[in-house]
Amino acid sequence: MILWALIVGFSFFAIPSEGFATPKEVFAQEREKHQSIIIEVEGNPIEHKKYLETYHPFIDVIATYEKLFNGLALQGSPDQLEKMGTLDFVKSIHTVQTYQTNTMEKPIDSIEDLLKGSPEIVIPSELNNTIYTGEGITVGVVDTGIDYNHPDLQLNYAGGYDLVDLDEDPMETTETEGAPTNHGSHVAGIIAANGSLQGVAPSAEIRAYRALGPGGSGTSVQVIAAMEQAVKDGVDIINLSLGNSVNGPDYPTSVAVNRAADLGIAVVIANGNSGPNNWTVGAPATAANALAVGAFANSQTIPMLYDSLSDKKITMLPMQGSISWELSMDYELALGYEEDLDGKIALVQRGKIPFYELAKKAQEKGAIAVIIYNNEAGSFRGALAGREPLQIPVVSVSKEDGEWLVQYASEQKHPYIDTIYEKTKSGIAPFSSRGPVTVNWDIKPDILAPGTNILSTVPGGYMALQGTSMAAPHVVGVIALMKEAKPKWTNEQIYGALKTTAIPITDETGQLIEPIIQGMGKIDPKRAIETPTIIYNPSLSFGKINDYRKTETIKLTIENTSNQTKKYAFTNPRKQTGLSWNLPMPFEVEAGEKVEIPIDLSITSPQMEKGIHQGWLTLSSDNEKYHLPYLFINETADYPKATGFEFTLKSFSEDEFVYRLYLTDETRSVEVELYDPQTLIFDRTLFRMEDTQVGMNEGYIRKRDLGKPGRYLAIITVQLENGTYESYETEIVISPDL
């Protein structure tokens, strides 16, 4: 996952004139030069609005935000807006950036044509195994906007707002405005398409909130402002198929999600596409009071690279916008951009150059396909955006597999590699991000939903996409069904019912897959609506254990929704050294009643290995078995101690930079050192922080203190409270133009 780039834009049409301009025309021409910003403020936004209207009359206050965060949306000339940075109540400013016009893969205008070519495509309505349609429920989609002119979205579109341009037209970005988008339309179609394609809840109303602009970029502030507008508009559910790399529960977007939930809004969030490693879930999916959704993969036939001599198989992830990989014989691998790529598979590493440009260059040199391997551990999913669709398939592979291919190609005179096609078992999508959350150690995702080969609406037609972005709107649609079926149920009851009745996923040996991979399991709408039992908080996180011996207690709330008394009993888990459970004896719950029962876990820390410990408890009632995941961290684990590093020019400043870093543990100091990325020779220390805190840390550097411009490998070294050190690396660019 990536941190969203800063973006807010506002555009006006010029009014042509001849000869002398009238005052009205002069005003219109001046408006052309105006920009828009969103500022975060200390204190009361309403009072600050009055102040600006009195002392800065040439600044227009477009909107105020006070439910989920304190802020104002402003419009004015660059000179006027620059003065906002000097006001003592302004905490941060989010400003304009320029984007190049690009186009994406052309959609298919016929569902039938798509299904013929890809029989394994998943249609959203297939998840709805109920009689309900989401009638009377309003869903807010915080995303890239939607194509409300699409014939399958027109009927259920109910308005919205654009937090990028600050107007009431939340249309997707078009080619004339910058890099075009289709993500929000695809998400909206999964929820409530109502035409040739049917969504999960085809009668639900959709309100669109464009928080991500050209190329699908935006800031956390735009996302929070969009959520606030959705709350003001009275939506019942909010879908957030977006995120960043910060694994922490108190990142601003996560805090806003929790506040929205406190106001009675059901918030559903994509867990992220940075799997399969642990600790890859990012904000706002880390929010405690929202449903974070992982991706379930249906069985499908996928191409894999294969070397018969070493019996090596390599999984490839198709780039969004790429044609299908349909190679039927072996082809030679070529490293980088050799002079002659004719008929070869080009192997290149991910870097600063856009994926489209990497692939286009290889295509121009005659490559038959392109493999882009990661520059950091694990797999990744990418998208191709360019003026002309590419004619060759483009895929990504993990850093580890990419380095294996590099070595293979270097050692062989003619490094041919074959393509084989395998039928996969249904289960967890490999790209789906894993938990747990740092700091509070919550289990994420909460639940799974279909997330591969999902057919839905996009501007100009239809497209099959995959990602947890596609899984989350399935859950939103299901919640719309449940709100129609159970109008008196609270969001807590709905969440509890969805989790209680989820179907746990097992591996090839029949063992339950780890909780931090699947949460409670795969969603089942009918079971959730008809459940006789609701377990309100079935994911049991016992936190981080630092004492020699400690007992933690979690209060479990169980509701009997049936019309007769029900009996419940726990199955005693197998004994483990250092672990002792104290579970309730068999108990009864009267019809329509709910009870709170204690779950005690005693841990003797030295008797157990350090790290993540997780498993499942089983609660039985009649013929039903409910699997409750549990987790605790013994002393420490391999979670990142620092994440979400940002380094940018301070808004409206020409000589001061701001850096931000999220820390997940108590530290003595943090130091960022710069190295030459080619020779790895140390160059200089960029900055050092000693007064740090768990959560977001921020500081400033003057331009004169930056040193010489260039591209650097930044090593972030964290000294923990126990005196040990941990290091992480990333790349930063100090531009000579700054």
**Catalytic positions, written as ranges:** 143, 183, 469
The Cα 184–Cα 170 span in angstroms is 10
Return the closest-CA partner of residue 381 out of 187, 243, 180: 243
The whole-angstrom separation of Cα 154 and Cα 680 is: 55
Pair of tokens at residue 703: 């331009």
Do residues 264 and 168 lie in contact, with contact meaning Cβ atoms separated by under 8 Å? no
Distances (CA, A) of 209 to 148, 189, 240, 292, 333: 12, 15, 10, 20, 45
CA–CA gap between residue 367 and residue 352 (Å, rounded): 21
Q: How far is CA 705 from CA 275, 652, 658, 733, in A?
A: 38, 19, 13, 15
End-to-end CA distance of the chain: 27
CA distance 313 to 83: 58
Distance between CA 319 and CA 317 in Å, rounded?
A: 6
The answer to whether 143 and 241 are in contact (CB under 8 A) is yes
Q: By the 8 A CB rule, do 242 and 4 touch?
A: yes
Q: Quick one: tokens of 81?
A: 């807006």
Cβ proximity of 456 and 122 under 8 Å: no
CB distance 292 to 258 below 8 Å? no
- Supply 401's token pair: 């597999």
Half-sphere exposure of 685 (CA within 13 A, CB side): 6
**CB neighbour burial string for 520-549, b if at least 16 within 10 angstroms, e if fewer:** bbbbbbbbbbebbbbbbbbbbbbebbeeee
For residues 83 and 56, the answer to whether their CB atoms sit within 8 Å is yes
192, 193, 194, 198 alpha-carbon torsion, rounded to 10°:
-100
Non-local (6+) Cβ contacts of 151 within 8 A are 195, 196
> Which CA distances in Å does 719 have to 29, 463, 468?
55, 48, 34
Phi then psi dihedrals of residue 691, to 5 deg: -95, 80
Conformational region of residue 694, where left means phi above 0, alpha means psi within -120 to 50, and beta covers everything else: beta
How far, in Å, CA of 696 to CA of 663, rounded? 6
Side chain identity at residue 229, one-letter code: Q
Check if the beta carbon of residue 588 is closer than 8 Å to that of residue 594: no
Other residues' Cβ atoms within 10 Å of the Cβ of residue 679: 9
